[in-house]
Structure 1
Amino acid sequence: MSVDHVSIREVGPRDGLQSEDPIPTADKIRLIDALSATCLSRIEAVSFVHPKAIPQMADADEVWASVRRDPEVRYSALAPNVRGVRRAVDAGFEEIEVVVSASDTHNRKNINRSTDESLEDVAELVELAHGNGASIEVIVATSFGCPYEGDIAPSRVAWVVDRAIADGADRVAFGDTTGMGTPRRVRELLDAVKPNYPDVPMLLHFHNTRGTALANVLTALDYGVTEFDASVGGLGGCPYAPGASGNLATEELVHMLHDMGIATGVDLDALIEVARMAEGFVGRELPSGVLRAGPRTKLTPIT
């Protein structure tokens, strides 16, 4: 299937930073504002979780109150439960994400509940969000594998999607939480879920832990998927999945798509500068190859 435009949701400010040592609130605000200026259409800004669970997100309300909100950008927040969704809608978010792991073990490690118990809450979360003019996206974590259980059957992921859609979820996303996804597994999952819900927006979230993220994107493009998560500089991973560092770097995704003639609307040069800024904030070298080498069109001066 031919794709001529891809929508990218930048997740560095939330999913990326939650795996790093805490950085100052002012730097988080600067990062979001800088990302907004790159013409990204979507940014996952904060998560409303208990500070004991994710201390890196303890200042979510303060960050969001100070961000310069671009009317052209769709900002979203992650919320794990009723309290989190209430905080998100009270803060004015119109797009809210909740996470349910397809892996029962990972779900228990993440929020100390079974997958089935988490799914029982979706209808209430949807009702709360819809009653306040917001949409709910259910992110299915460990969609391509679990570090504790191993491979996750596509039928298990499809079961989670069936439950979420039946309870009113507006969108679904599939998280490669530990970088276990491969093109074969992307095909198997999309074959299992996409034909059943042709009108439900679907987004894919890949990690580059084992170097397969861009190959996975290419596979998903063949299925007509046009929405992907990515994290500036390759920030982040999963705090509940050992060794799962390395979100797909936004600038690497944009670089590849633009070379393929697929529009994103993103200013790649500006994005690379934001990745350099993010690297300074976290105080370590980020894994993005495009950040290191620049775009393929960058020439070496003749001396």
Structure 2
Amino acid sequence: MNHSLRTLLLVSVPLAAISLSGPAAAQSLEGVTLVEDGKLTYGVAASFAPFEYVLDGKLTGFDIEFIQGLAEKLKVEAAAMNMEFKGLIPALRGGRIDLINSAMYINPTRSEQVDFVPYMEIGNNVMVQAGNPRGITGRDDTICGKVIAVTLGGISESQARADGDRCKAAGLGEVTVLTLPTAQDSALSLSQGRADANYESTPGAVMALEKMPGVFEIAGEPFEMDTQIGLATPKGATELQAALASAIKAMAEDGSYDALIAKWKLPPSVSLFD
């Protein structure tokens, strides 16, 4: 068994309870109380391409197709509630949604409020303007004294603030953290020169370079490559967690999980099942 799958089993009790031998069949949601019968109502902040975003007025992205695949396995309809990222956990805890499906990074603070079923492992890049006019070589001392664009409330904000504390303590110049509502806003601020760098997810950086060739480049190596993202559920919702975990396993075994990774041009390293 590979390291990623071992990690998956350690952080997710539902997956640990499911046999990893033989063909997978998703458990049903029978006995699980849902916001609306026959529907898996999920919260999403559709501002984080390529995972979830709006194109031509419709929700699209890896996570949108992923939850549709899970819903098919569980024989229910996927129903989205699009909202600001900061409102997702309150909506879940308030019973307005059944789960959060929004590329939510798993961290200790969030894990105190919700439970997670992990489904992917990603990292982050330092993205700069093409030509790297500010001479940034990665998440190192060259970031000190610079302006970093980040998504408000996301992991990139905490990373940038931690770098700011480190730079200040070393007397190398404070980092100015420019918080913006969405990842797209952060990329736009970088392209316009209002920021010197942008901390972007590894898949998001791939998409930005593809969609806007000649505008950005990556500085240095990816960092924090073992960060997991997961579906968030209410605390103690073990039956729902087990059903979601079994559906993820079924998608991994029938190839649809890997097909989505390829379709959305995510690096193969994001898979928890390779």
The TM tier, using the shorter chain, reads: under 0.3
Higher strand share: 2
Q: Which has the higher contact order (CA 8 A, sep 6+)?
A: 2
Larger Rg over CA atoms: 2
More helix by share: 1
